[in-house]
Structure 1
Amino acid sequence: MRTLIFATAIRILTPLFLVFSLYILLRGHNHPGGGFIGGLMGSIAFVFHTLAHGTKQTAKSYFSLTFYKYDRKPHHNNLSHALRLLRKNIVRNKKEKPIFIWNYYLLRLRPTYLMAIGLAVAVGSGLVGLVMGKPFMAAYWLKVKIPLVGSVGTPLLFDTGVYLLVLGMVLKMVFTMSKD
């Protein structure tokens, strides 16, 4: 099912599905079921992306963060080195090696981590009531209202945990079933 039309359409539809799933999550904190159905809507975006591009490309596109770090040497902190870097970057010889040495670190966010984070957030939202001396899962609301969201409290935190848990569970199933 890897056609050019489907792959192109999914590139456009994936962000729309994700934005809509976040809308469902935020809308649902005043109504039941926002986290669960939002997580299912978000996972649909990744299921379609996996069907169109494969598991490896989906994991590389959405679940990998690359951090770059400039490798500093102790003698690079003086003014003469800064002037030399400026001269080398402005007047560059094409045969020279680049001055900057970049290291990169890859951080992979696996679906199992999403499930663990979601479960921790959901349980943490329930523990707020116990810490305040009330029953488990007692709702607490912040006095500040956020535009387009409204009141924020522990029910939204619980729904966010459920959202991440459902998203991680569906992604784990899809990635396992569609191994290349």
Structure 2
Amino acid sequence: MRTLIFATAIRLLTPLFLLFSVYILFRGHHHPGGGFIGGLICSLAFVFHALAHGSEHTESTYFRLSVCQYKANGKPSQLYYVWSWMQLAIRKNHRNGNHKRFHVIRLRPIYLMAFGLLLAAGSGMVGLILGKPFMTAWWLPLELPVLGSLGTPLLFDTGVFMLVLGMVLKMVFTMKKE
């Protein structure tokens, strides 16, 4: 059921859900939780958006990246990465005489799962490379003011975050299409 109130509320709450999930992710390498709970909160934002606006709109809004190639004097000059919500400006400039080619890259949930698994396993390999047991924590010597010290536990949590996000999105988008 799509209502105007629900669609408007989700449009306003989605950025808050995403920001809170990133907060939980960064909080997790000092306290329990982190990657798993942050991934669930982030996927919840996309699930609500898919319920309010449809899965096709959610995929085209958040999971498509356009790669634009501008041509100056008939020669390709630079590549620009533009999110899908800016494609309207690209088409408008194309009508005004600026010749551009752009390709759409789709970020699929299976890619998120694969990248998250690679990141989580790679965080454990750092310990092996340094001659210590698998999954031994290693910290960078610098400390950032808001985030604190960065290390392999944050890398592991980020991998779990991406893995959970990809799993939930894959399930939701698959069920929504049927």
User: Please, what TM-score do these two structures have when normalized by structure 1?
Assistant: 0.85
2:160 match: 162
- Classify the secondary structure of the residue corresponding to 2:141: strand
Alpha-carbon separation, structure 2, partners of 1:67 and 1:144:
35
SS in 2 for 1:71: strand
**Structure 1 match to 2:12:** 12
Deviation at 1:67, TM superposition (A): 2.1
Q: Which has the higher contact order (CA 8 A, sep 6+)?
A: 1
Give structure 1 regions of 4+ aligned residues with deviation exceeding 3 angstroms.
72-77
Q: State how far apart, in whole Å, the 1-side matches of 2:23 and 2:147 are.
A: 9
Runs of at least 5 residues in structure 2 that lack an aligned partner in the other structure: 78-94
Q: Does 1:24 align with 2:11?
A: no
Q: Which amino acid aligns with 1:70?
A: Y
TM-score using structure 2 length: 0.86
Q: CA separation in 2, counterparts of 1:21 and 1:75?
A: 43
Deviations 1:101-132, CA, capped at 9 Å, x for gaps:
11111111000000000000000000000000
**Greater radius of gyration (CA):** 1
Count matched residues.
Answer: 161
Aligned equivalent of 1:110, options 108, 111, 120: 108
Change (3 A) 1:75 1:120: closer
Percentage identity across paired residues of the two chains: 63
Residue 28 of structure 1 aligns with an amino acid whose one-letter code is G
- Partner residue, 1:124: 122
**Whose strand proportion is higher, 1 or 2?**
2
